[in-house]
Amino acid sequence: MEEELKKDARTILIVDDEQPIVDILVYNLEKEGYNTITASDGLTAVNMALEKQPDLILLDIMLPKLDGLSVCKRIKNSLNVPIIMLTAKDSEIDKILGLELGADDYITKPFSVRELVARVKANLRKIEAITNVQVMNTKTQEESKKENKIIVGELELDLDKFEVKVRGEVIDLTLREFEVLKFLASQPEQVITRETLLEKVWGYEYYGDIRTVDVTVRRIREKIEKDTSIPRILMTKRGVGYYIATK
């Protein structure tokens, strides 16, 4: 298998115990130019992810030996790799995005291959853009110190460290939560629609589910607001979207 991997291609780990789904994903992703490696149970998936360090993981929730949510958590403790969860139930979506798992995205079965490939490309583009920013920030750290912070009221984002402080206290956010907050804080008091957030932060225009945005915003609020029932920082414009308040 190793000899067959293309040198300059991104590698995707597919984790699913349904062989027909694995076959379809392998065929279509390789057709798009990606390398693929596969695992059919949770324990193998964790070991393979840590050993091979793929560029992205497609991870089913229902797996033998170790369920997908536990697999996601274990991998994210060691690797900063985009993980797209595959779920057969709408009811799992809050769990995927709401728990401290670090999952970057989800897609429900049955899914269209076109949609899944679009999600894969979007998540890989996003991680590539973040890596490029980190490299640039490292090179120009001294020159751009002032420009690499966003301060709005009690909220402070350090773009070099990917760190958020609220009232001086460091808040632990996932990478996706940080990106949402950064996008909103860079244009305070401006209401941003859910659709715009999906396009600019998640990276896809037509395939997104706005519940992804709502659940992520809810998680951010739980971390940065004193009282989530009366938010002071991350505000909702009912029926439109979200914005960062300056006062």
| 161 and 125 in a common domain | no
Distance CA 122, CA 129 (A): 11
pLDDT tens track for 190-213: 999 988 888 888 876 655 577 888
In a shared domain, residues 38 and 80: yes
Among 50-64, 85-99, 153-167, 192-206, the minimum mean pLDDT is found in 85-99
Q: Is the same domain home to 110 and 181?
A: no
Task: Say if residue 115 is in the same domain as residue 221.
Answer: no
Query: Burial, 87: exposed, middle or buried (Cβ in 10 Å; 0-12, 13-18, 19+)?
Result: buried
Mind listing the pLDDT tens digit for each residue in 128-159? 765 554 445 545 444 444 558 888 988 999 98
User: Is residue 134 one of the residues assigned to a domain?
Assistant: no
105 in the same domain as 158: no
Give residue 183's domain range: 140-244
Judge if 22 and 62 occupy the same domain: yes
Structure tokens at 246: 């300056």
Identify whether residues 68 and 150 lie together within a single domain: no
Please indicate, yes or no, whether residues 120 and 62 belong to a single structural domain of this protein. yes
131 token code pair:
């890596």
| Any domain includes 135 | no
Answer yes or no: is 83 within a domain. Answer: yes
Whether residue 154 lies inside any domain: the answer is yes
Q: Torsion angle, CA of 139/143/145/151, rounded to 10 degrees? A: -120
Residue 12 C-alpha from the chain's centroid: 15
In a domain, 158, yes or no: yes
Residue 91 has pLDDT above 80, yes or no: no
What are the helix (H) ranges across the chain?
19-31, 42-52, 68-78, 93-98, 113-139, 175-185, 194-197, 210-224
Report yes or no on 189 lying in a domain: yes
> Can you give the pTM of this predicted structure?
0.63
Residue 119 has pLDDT above 90, yes or no: no
Partners of 115 in beta bridges: none
Same domain membership, residue 120 and residue 169 = no
- Give every strand in the sheet of 241-244, ordered side by side: 192-193, 241-244, 234-237
**Residue after which a domain boundary falls, among 129, 148, 163:** 129
CB 2 within 8 A of CB 48: no
Domain final position from 66, 94, 129: 129
Tokens at residue 171, please? Answer: 């808040």
The tens digit of pLDDT for each residue in 15-45 reads 999 999 999 999 999 999 999 999 999 999 9
Question: Are 99 and 156 contained in the same domain?
Answer: no
Q: What is the pLDDT of residue 3?
A: 42
Number of independent structural domains in the chain: 2
Examine the domain organization and report whether 125 and 6 are in the same domain.
yes
The pLDDT of residue 96 is: 65
CATH of the domain at 66: 3.40.50.2300
Name which of 22-26, 99-103, 178-182, 189-193 the model is least confident about: 99-103
**Could you tell me which residues are beta bridge partners of residue 166?**
155, 169
| Cross-strand bridge partners of residue 85 | 59, 106
2 band by pLDDT with thresholds 50, 70 and 90: very low
Choosing from 68, 94, 129, the residue where a domain stops is 129
Do 119 and 26 fall into the same domain? yes
CATH number, domain of 151, equals 1.10.10.10
